[in-house]
Amino acid sequence: MKKSFLVLLTLGMLLGLMWCSPHKDSSQSKTIYVLAAASLQDSFTEIQKNFEQATGIKLILNFAGSGTLQKQIEEGAPCDVFISAAPKQMDALVAKNLMDRGSSIDLLRNRLVLIVSEAYKDKIASASDLADQDIRVSIGDPEVVPAGQYAKDSLVYLNLWEGIQHKIVFAKDVRQVMAYVERGEVDAGIIYRSDAVHLKSSFIKETFDEEWHNPIVYPAAMATDSKEKDAAARFLSFIQNEESIKIFEKNGFEFNKKVE
């Protein structure tokens, strides 16, 4: 009898310890896939650490030109959240019911800038000087890179496009444009202000007027067929908190909307 009592007492104590010990949040076993425009790489790499520490949810990040990411999603690439550098790609995915329109937010705004290499820092002061120089200019491919489309629209507005098309080197995304200029492989480039804050060996010469192109807006939304909708919703909320806003602003973005 005494032995049975001791066994029961021991079992009770073990159960009590198990009950009182901290239980891990079930979200710790979750993983979500976030596909984001290349210009967001620095911001989201920093936000990733904060989000994973705060929630236990693992992020797998995929950065590329928005058009490239759109195609990947259309072809079935894993995606729980998509953040585009323009409404065009998001709207196309919403139209195909691949992105949830109800979860969509216009998260950020950006500006376009002209950058030049070390060799041309005293020779190019603005976009108008591009036509008068024997140089190479890089922009993102307008077919798949929103920054490239904004750049083309601006050059058309300034009546420069026809005269400098033969000088243009197209890139797969804004980071490649910046790398070309930084390495001196081209003499000038048009990129986002958010990327320009990381320049090391080239220079900003002009910030483009917002009247020259469509507004640069970054929409974010949850994938319609996400298997982790709760976790994806937490991420969309998290990137609108004060800590995330500071990170975006530090990296040259303008925050467009605060969560209510």
Residues 86 and 42 in one domain: yes
Instruction: Taking residues 113-117, report their average pLDDT.
Output: 97
Residues 122 and 200 in one domain: yes
Calculate ∠ Cα 41-43-48, nearest 5°. Answer: 90
Task: Please state the residue numbers annotated as binding site.
Answer: 39, 66, 147, 174, 192
Residues 204 and 143 in one domain: yes
Task: Please state the residue numbers annotated as binding site for molybdate.
Answer: 39, 66, 147, 174, 192
Q: What distance in Å separates the CA atoms of residue 138 and residue 26, rounded to the nearest whole number?
A: 47
Token readout for 26 is: 């079930």
Residues 141 and 101 in one domain: no
Residues 116 and 177 in one domain: yes
Indicate the number of domains in the chain: 2
Residues 146 and 195 in one domain: yes
Q: What distance in Å separates the CA atoms of residue 165 and residue 66, rounded to the nearest whole number?
A: 23
177, part of any domain: yes
Kindly report the average pLDDT of the chain as a whole number: 89
Q: Are 141 and 171 within 8 A, CB to CB?
A: yes
Domain residues for 187? 112-212
pLDDT for position 132: 86
Q: How many CB atoms lie within 10 A of CB 182?
A: 18
pLDDT tens for 155-198 read 999 999 999 999 999 999 999 999 999 999 999 999 999 999 98
Length of the chain: 260
Residue matched to tokens 């192109």: 213
20, part of any domain: no
pLDDT for position 66: 94
Residues 77 and 125 in one domain: no
Residues 120 and 191 in one domain: yes
Residue matched to tokens 């200029």: 181
Residues 88 and 46 in one domain: yes
pLDDT for position 28: 52
Q: How far is CA 145 from the centre of its chain?
A: 12
pLDDT tens for 215-259 read 999 999 999 999 999 999 999 999 999 999 999 999 999 998 544
Residues 32 and 100 in one domain: yes
pLDDT tens for 59-103 read 999 999 999 999 999 999 999 999 999 999 999 999 999 999 999
The domain spanning residue 145 has which CATH number?
3.40.190.10
Residue 25 φ/ψ, nearest 5 degrees: -60, 135
Q: What distance in Å separates the CA atoms of residue 88 and residue 218, rounded to the nearest whole number?
A: 10
